[in-house]
Homo-oligomer: A and B are copies of this chain.
């Protein structure tokens, strides 16, 4: 279901320091920081395996090779661990949104868009378990909804900007931007989850084509 190997790509530095939990007051020393990182990574692994509700604090603790009590030294509860992870993902994706290149029907534009989509797909694959769990937990704790909106706005606006430049007549750029985000997100999801069997280059090509094709009709 989830390819644990890809977790190796996880850069611990990215995930820290993102919490405001019990540790907010304490200054962590090296040992503590290390433990916290182990817990964060264990969280990702476990959530990926069993989802949010399916994961027991016990699972996380075992994975992190820590004791039960230690967990609560760093996070008030499971929710807070997820929140820390979500915050990390949010930060990353917001940065990515800022780096969306100018959309234009030149070969340079094509290349850079394709590269960006590749990066998006990589990150998506990496953070999918978190995103997935995030949705799952949204019901319990609506602070998650807030975090998500930020990312949605950032990405949506970036695409809207591209659509504005293309200026297709009769199409609201904001709406078109959202449509493109929808396309990219879900298509990436379908490929990442193997719902469609397609090799990476083909999927990137198709996505690039559909995006630019819909914004800049080749006949122009």
A residues near B (Cβ < 8 Å) are: 50-51, 53-54, 135-136, 138-140, 149, 152, 156, 168, 170-172, 174-176, 178-179, 181-183, 185-187, 189-190, 195-196, 198, 202-203, 205-207, 209-210, 213-214, 217-220
Contacts and interface: CB of A to CB of B under 8 A. Distances in A.
A206 to B, nearest CB: 5
Task: Quickly give the copy total for this chain.
Answer: 4
Contacts of A209: 168, 170-171
A210 B152 CA distance: 20
Given A175-B198, A176-B210, 14 more contacts: A51-B139, A53-B139, A135-B136, A136-B139, A168-B209, A171-B206, A178-B195, A179-B207, A182-B185, A182-B186, A182-B187, A182-B189, A213-B217, A217-B219
Given A183-B182, A202-B172, A202-B175, A195 B149 contact: yes
Nearest to A145: B1
Contacts of A152: 195
A95 B50 CA distance: 32
Contacts of A195: 149, 152, 178
Contacts of A185: 182, 186
A98 to B, nearest CB: 20
Contacts of A172: 198, 202, 206
A172 B197 CA distance: 12
Contact of A219 (B181, B202, B203, B220): B220
